[in-house]
């Protein structure tokens, strides 16, 4: 729920998770995790109380915890002012810099895909753009003579990677932020597939996932840490499959499958080929970021998943060669720190509040 100071200048969403106050500031659209003494300062400062008075209050209440209360208060207020400043919003999207999108009518390639019951045409402005998207959904390609009811244009203009949906500007990013471009396209495809507005998802997780009956488990990790391998192994042992490394969460926190191919890195081929023998005959390809992979086509769209799958648990994965198996619970503070590195959260207060509630209810493991 949105919190406001008495002067309305500081607006934030707050959730206590264990002993941590997870705080999202509306002005900067940024997250800050604070503990009890710091929260005391936030509470008073957002109510318009001046630094000197806050220092007196904290000396009376927290003197036994902090030796230098004035310095402590000053540092916390400095943090609050930083996160409350609109100039400190992470400015990844460059959509506002697109003066016009009068791109060339000629494209490098045009592909048509059957995504569930939707036909999508994607036009790629150059080979790199096709290379970044097409291999993961190549198994969904159909005849390009098929009439599409959705059109996505991808092109580069003024050093920006730009995407349009049905002729309207969707987003734009610097070329060095290419992963945001590919993430935005997957989010759009999720929206088309499940008929959920592009701006109505709670979060997009850099995660793989499996399901059984009407529950799912998500696995998050940095690239190469094992989330794809563990999900592929569980799929081979009878679990339903959600996605390889990108999963959408709706307003209720339910996860949705996506029929992108599984990207198997060279280090996992030997392990997975026992269960996916086709890998031994599959050509190795380089991804747009230079990694060598083999693709396992996936078609996992079925009626029971149309409304999403509730998430039962979230597991952080870290493969350690020759290491012992460890499975342990992760506290909410650490879970949120790890999760925010690999997650896009919808920057609307109501969705941030839902995200915090989802974190609060969900068990996390490593």
- One-letter-per-residue 3-state SS of the chain: CEEECCCCCCEEEEEEECCEEEEEECCCCEEEEECHHHHHHHHHHHCCCCHHHHHHHHHHHHCCCCCCHHHHHHHHHHHHHHHCCHHHCCCCCCHHHCCCCCCCCCCCEEEEEEECCEEEEEEECCHHHHHHHHHHHHHHEECCCCCCCEEEEEEEECCEEEEEECCEEEEEEEHHHHHHHHHHHHHHHHHHHHCCCCCCCCEEECEEEEEECCEEEEEECCCCCCHHHHHHHHHHCCCEEEECCCEEECCCCCEECCCCCEEEEHHHHHHHHCCCHHHHCCCCEECCCCCEEEEECCCCCCHHHCCCECEEEEEECCCCCCCCCCCCECCHHHHHHHHHHCEEECCCHHHHHHHHHHHHHCCEEC
State whether the Cα torsion 196-197-198-200 is positive or negative.
negative
Cβ atoms 171, 178 nearer than 8 A: no
Instruction: Give the β-pairing of 203-205 and 168-174.
Output: unpaired
Mean pLDDT by 10 residues, the chain (366 residues): 63 92 93 90 89 87 72 90 87 80 75 93 92 92 92 91 93 88 93 94 94 93 80 93 92 94 89 92 76 86 78 93 91 93 92 96 96
> What's the confidence (pLDDT) of residue 162?
93
Closest CA to 189 of 262, 105, 121: 121
pTM of the predicted model as reported, rounded to 2 decimal places: 0.90
**84-92: long-range contacts at Cβ-Cβ below 8 A with a sequence spacing of 24 or more?**
84/9, 84/10, 84/12, 84/25, 84/27, 84/28, 85/27, 85/28, 86/27, 86/28, 88/28, 88/30, 89/27, 89/28, 89/29, 89/30, 90/28, 90/29, 90/30, 92/173, 92/177, 92/180
Residues 27 and 8: their CA atoms lie apart, in Å, by 12
> What's the confidence (pLDDT) of residue 112?
97
Cβ atoms 229, 319 nearer than 8 A: yes
Residues in contact with 101: Cβ distance below 8 Å, sequence separation at least 6, in sequence order: 157, 162, 164, 169
> What's the confidence (pLDDT) of residue 5?
55
> What's the confidence (pLDDT) of residue 6?
58
> What's the confidence (pLDDT) of residue 34?
92
Closest CA to 187 of 172, 174, 170: 170
């Amino acid at each position: 729920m949105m919190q406001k100071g008495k002067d309305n200048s500081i607006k934030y969403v707050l959730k206590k998770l264990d002993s941590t106050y997870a705080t999202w500031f509306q002005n900067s659209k940024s997250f800050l995790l604070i503990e009890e003494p710091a929260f005391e300062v936030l509470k008073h400062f957002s109510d318009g109380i001046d630094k000197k008075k806050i220092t007196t209050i904290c000396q009376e209440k927290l003197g036994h915890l902090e030796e230098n209360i004035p310095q402590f208060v000053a540092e916390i207020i400095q943090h609050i002012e930083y996160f409350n400043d609109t100039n400190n919003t992470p400015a990844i999207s460059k959509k506002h810099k697109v003066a016009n999108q009068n791109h060339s009518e000629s494209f490098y390639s045009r592909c048509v895909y059957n995504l569930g019951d939707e036909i999508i045409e994607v036009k790629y402005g150059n080979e790199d753009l096709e290379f970044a998207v097409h291999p993961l959904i190549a198994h969904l390609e159909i005849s390009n003579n098929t009439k599409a009811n959705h059109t996505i244009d991808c092109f580069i203009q003024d050093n920006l990677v730009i995407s349009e949906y049905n002729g309207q500007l969707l987003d734009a990013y610097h070329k060095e932020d290419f992963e945001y471009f590919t993430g935005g396209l997957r989010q759009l495809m999720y929206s088309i597939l499940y008929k959920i507005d592009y701006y109505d998802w709670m979060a997009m997780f850099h995660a793989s996932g499996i399901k059984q009956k009407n529950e799912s488990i998500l696995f998050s990790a940095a690239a190469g840490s094992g989330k794809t391998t563990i999900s592929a192994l569980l799929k081979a042992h009878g679990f339903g499959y959600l996605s390889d490394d990108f999963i959408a969460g709706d307003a209720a926190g339910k996860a949705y499958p996506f029929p992108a191919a599984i990207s198997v890195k060279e280090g996992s081929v030997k392990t997975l080929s026992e269960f996916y023998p086709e890998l031994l005959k599959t050509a190795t390809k380089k991804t747009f970021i230079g990694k060598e992979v083999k693709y396992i086509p996936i078609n996992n769209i079925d009626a029971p998943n149309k409304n999403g799958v509730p998430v039962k648990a979230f597991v952080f994965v870290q493969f350690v060669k020759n290491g012992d198996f460890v499975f342990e619970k992760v506290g909410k503070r650490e879970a949120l720190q790890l999760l925010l590195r690999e997650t896009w959260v919808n920057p609307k207060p109501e969705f941030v509040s839902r995200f915090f509630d989802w974190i609060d209810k969900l068990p996390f493991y490593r």
